[in-house]
A and B are shown apart, each in its own frame.
Chain A
Amino acid sequence: MNTELFGIVATYLLTLVLAIPLGKYLAKVFAGEKVWTDFLKPIESGIYKLSGINPKEEMNWKQHMKALMTINLVWLVYGFFVLMYQDKLPLNPDGNPGMTPDLAFNSIISFVVNCNLQHYSGESGVTYLTQHFVMMFLQFVSAATGIAAAVVFFKAFRDKTSTNLGNFWEFFVKSITRLLLPLSLIMAIILAFSGTPTSYEGKDKLISLQGDTVNVSRGPAAAFVAIKHLGTNGGGWFGTNSAHPLENPSYITNSVELIAQVLIPIAMVIAFGIFIRRRKLSWMIFGVMTIGMLLLLIPTVSSELGGNPAIAKMGVSQLSGAMEGKEVRFGPAISGYWSTVTTIISTGSVNSMHDSTMPLTGFWQLLGMMINSFYGGCGVGMLNYFIYLIIAVFISGLMVGRTPEFLGHKVEAREIKIAALITLLSPFLILAGTAIASFVVVNHADAAWAVQPKSWLNNPGFHGFSEMLYEMTSSNANNGSGFEGLGDNNVFWNVSTGFVLFLGRFLPIIGPIAIAGLLGAKKHIPESAGTLKADTLTFSLMTFAVIIVLNALSYFPALTLGPLAEYFTLIK
């Protein structure tokens, strides 16, 4: 038991040891300062040249968003058709079929928006070609999109007043060449030597020790699994994601995958402070995020180690904790840590089945995704946090009766309106989506879809409601994990979550960038005794309170109907 807790502590500390220098490095890379990876410049110049890009061309925030949206739409169209016709394309040794239009719609949006919600199963739903040329490709570029967007945001606060926010393509390409690709290469090789397959051979067939015939799915997974974590994507090569022994062979690879998914989100926070020359501010943000993480993590691990009270009643020994849906090589403690990390960071990969975790664990998982900014996804975590920050600036301003300002820029009605709209968007998408789904289950149980609504839910009662709430929350947070018992491959879920995914990605990117762009263009007001300082302990506490209050107000009723109600029935 203790060795399992040591494992969590060691994994987290190792993450920090790597993330802090990485943050410093990233700040330099994006500021265009000298770094040791400058030997890659010729490759970048080649990419710019072939693409007809001038990386020196300055863009304002609107041009940044146009470039971002354009390339994302190109990927949507490209991927949709490749997925639909994957059966007619090469590299399909297992003879898997093409996707239905609604499944292709859902899958392509899901990967473009860095979510990786999967309504198909890796072994039977995609081909080696689509796994690499659609899924893995998007895992790189969607992460780079998020990072580039965050850099635009950084840029808005670097100088006193500026509308020139650098070049989107440059940030985007550098995110890949200087960060994602080199790290992925290292990690993929570690995974390959730990047992994750890399070859393009199709299924294998063998006779097991006791004489059963077994077919074994494989494929070049190592390259995929690396970027899946580094880019906080989370989509699995195999159906069961990182619970699958080939995708996550050992306790060591498990820690590697855990470190990889937290690495860039933390590094981005550190980079922010260095980039805008306000290190104290980024340590304060890091502090709030870390305390938030611990408040989710500790009860999660404790609820998993405690085991299932209903199974305890049967008299068996749950020495190690709750084991349904978990793997013995990881154990419940680090699986609990994983479930916290993967939900706060929008990775959404799993090493245990969340549907089978304890009710309170489900509660913390949902809350992590609803808040979505305790570190948060690659780049976008900072953007989500920024919205809370602006709301906190506004409320603090009102409380002390001063014009709210952030880093020397006046925060006025327009910015607050955008922040308020983005804040309202998440509860609207999640709660309305869940309400419609519940309505369909109750009133149209026999609708003639691929999976009839009456068989959507794998579990009765409150837990069934949680399955639907989780799916919508995960889509909105661009997380991608699921209570996978839900029968989600049908028109209703494919289309509804498709829209939630899309809106839940791009509006929370455009909103904060717009605010940052507007603020950055305003006249800089020098600091005075009356300035509300963003890097103080008081203001950090204020931001934390805003995060808790906003989320409690939005989601408490829904959480009560799902995981909390289940918890109380289970312990009664």
Chain B
Amino acid sequence: MKKYILQSLRLTAVLLVLLCVIYPLIVAFAGKLTKGNGGGEKITKNGQVVGYALLGQSFTKPQYFWGRPSAVGYKADGSGGSNKGPSNPDYLKEVNSRIDSLLKYHPYLKRSDIPADMVTASGSGLDPNISVEGAAIQIKRVAMYRKLNEQDVADLVKKTVKGPVLGLFGPSSINVLELNIALDNLKK
């Protein structure tokens, strides 16, 4: 028994060095060669960092495309989903009020135009994407507030769509931050 204890202690020490020092340092070194130098890829606008490429952020102003509802208000140091069950009456009320508020800002919409992702909270609370339909319903409003031609905005949305992998696997999506930056640049 004593032999096993000593062996266990020594083996644990050796493996701590191998697995917790050497291994992550190799990965960190490789990470230096990536786009964000291992700290996450940042998006800049006019030399100012305005966000992370992968992280969704809150858009509430009417001249921007909006992202999905977030259970944590897009708090990037405290990710979280709503964890509401599908039959929870309070939750269903909340979804209904999200639908109403979308209809208020987009009076031209029917309920059946609204895709589910725009009225349900994401898993991480930081979902950077919306569905193609989720962007489509906002085009008219954004164009109106920006005094832009609706077709120009629609073209921009189309350009931002990221299709399935190799055109075959997975859903299509739109990165909201990318779209909004492109939109800001369009004005000039």
Contacts and interface: CB of A to CB of B under 8 A. Distances in A.
A569 interface: yes
Contact of B170 (A188, A201, A334, A460): A334
Interface stretch (A243-251, A372-380, A432-440, A500-508): A243-251
Interface stretch (A64-72, A259-267, A422-430, A510-518): A64-72
B115 A10 contact: no
Contacts of B32: 198-199
Interface stretch (A17-25, A282-290, A355-363, A537-545): A355-363
Interface in A184-236: 184-185, 188-189, 192-193, 195, 197-201, 203-204, 206-210, 212, 214-218, 220, 222-224
A328 B131 contact: yes
A311 B98 CA distance: 12
A3 B77 contact: no
Contact of B87 (A189, A255, A566): A566
A395 B154 CA distance: 66
B133 interface: yes
Nearest to A318: B116
Interface string A326-343: 111111001000000000
Contacts of A7: 164-165, 169-170
A209 B86 contact: no
B23 A207 contact: no
A144 B128 CA distance: 36
Given A327-B124, A328-B122, A570-B87, A356 B82 contact: yes
B40 A243 contact: no
Contacts of A331: 170-171
A287 to B, nearest CB: 26
B88 A463 contact: yes
B124 A244 contact: yes
B129 interface: yes
B83 A458 contact: yes
A556 interface: no
A325 interface: yes
A323 B76 CA distance: 21
A124 B169 contact: no
A509 B59 CA distance: 51
A273 interface: no
B148 interface: no
Nearest to B87: A570
B27 A189 contact: yes
A200 B39 CA distance: 8
Interface in B1-54: 1, 4-12, 14-16, 18-20, 23-24, 26-28, 30-32, 34-42, 45, 48-54
B156 interface: no
A123 B124 CA distance: 13
A215 B41 CA distance: 15
A121 B78 contact: yes
A398 interface: no
A466 B88 CA distance: 13
Contacts of B1: 66, 70
Contacts of A400: none
A147 interface: no
A133 B11 contact: no
A252 interface: yes
A485 B28 contact: no
Interface string B92-133: 100110010000000000011111110111111111111101
A297 interface: no
A404 to B, nearest CB: 35
Contact of A140 (B8, B11, B15): B15
B181 interface: yes
**Residue among B32, B112, B124, B169 facing the most chain A CB atoms (10 A cut-off):** B124
Interface residues of B, number: 105
A212 B76 CA distance: 12
A197 B50 contact: no
A310 B75 CA distance: 28
A566 B113 CA distance: 28
Contact of A3 (B54, B68, B168, B181): B168
A386 interface: no
B142 interface: no
Contacts of A329: 127-129, 170-171, 173
A314 B92 CA distance: 9
B170 A53 contact: no
Nearest to B40: A197
A353 B126 CA distance: 13
A216 B58 contact: no
Given A66-B1, A316-B115, A485-B85, A214 B60 contact: no
A328 B127 contact: yes
A350 B117 contact: no
A311 B92 contact: yes
Contacts of A201: 39
Given A53-B7, A328-B130, A358-B86, A189 B169 contact: no
Contact of A461 (B10, B49, B54, B87): B87
Interface string A468-497: 000000000000000111000000000000
A451 interface: no
B57 A212 contact: yes
Interface string A304-321: 000110110011111111
Interface stretch (A27-35, A44-52, A158-166, A410-418): A44-52
Nearest to A73: B8
A163 to B, nearest CB: 19
Interface string A111-133: 00000000001011000000011
B124 A245 contact: yes
A167 B93 CA distance: 60
List the 9 closest pairs (A to B, CB-CB), nearest first: A198-B31, A243-B123, A485-B83, A463-B85, A315-B111, A199-B38, A353-B81, A331-B171, A459-B85
Interface of A: 3-4, 6-7, 10, 47, 50-53, 66-67, 70-71, 74-75, 78, 94, 121, 123-124, 132-133, 136-137, 140-141, 169, 173, 176, 181, 184-185, 188-189, 192-193, 195, 197-201, 203-204, 206-210, 212, 214-218, 220, 222-224, 238-240, 243-246, 249, 251-252, 255, 307-308, 310-311, 314-331, 334, 350-353, 355-359, 458-463, 466, 483-485, 566, 569-570
Given A198-B27, A316-B99, A317-B113, 8 more contacts: A7-B165, A70-B5, A169-B11, A198-B24, A198-B32, A238-B79, A251-B170, A314-B111
